[in-house]
Amino acid sequence: MGKHSRPGPPNQPSRAIPGVDPDDRLAAYDKRRRPPLDVHRRHRPLHGGGGHLRPEEPRALEKWNGFSYEPAGIAANLADAMQWVNEQPSAGEPAA
């Protein structure tokens, strides 16, 4: 395998970035508006460090607004943060 090879079968497209329709004139614009790896909601520990460390401490909740992540609230612990990340978005949010 070469230095820049991705793991997995060579006959499958990458799952990290969805394909872009070449006939869509706004494809480049839409691509820039997608969140990284299509993660619309995420959580970050308030203390810094890895997200799996100190699961009893609070987490900052962030959601994608079409251009960047913006604060959405605070969760009391890792379990509450994961529940918020995995719940279905409301009508005003983009579908994950």
- Residue whose C-alpha is closest to residue 31's, from 67, 57, 85: 67
Task: Specify the number of domains making up the chain.
Answer: 1
42: tokens are: 């995420």
Separation CA 82–CA 26 (nearest Å): 33
In a domain, 19, yes or no: no
In a domain, 58, yes or no: yes
In a domain, 20, yes or no: no
In a domain, 70, yes or no: yes
In a domain, 21, yes or no: no
28-76 pLDDT, tens per residue?
777 777 777 778 899 999 888 888 888 999 999 999 998 899 999 999 9
pTM of the model: 0.62
In a domain, 82, yes or no: yes
21: tokens are: 């329709």
Could you tell me where the beta strands, DSSP code E, fall in 2-47?
41-45
In a domain, 7, yes or no: no
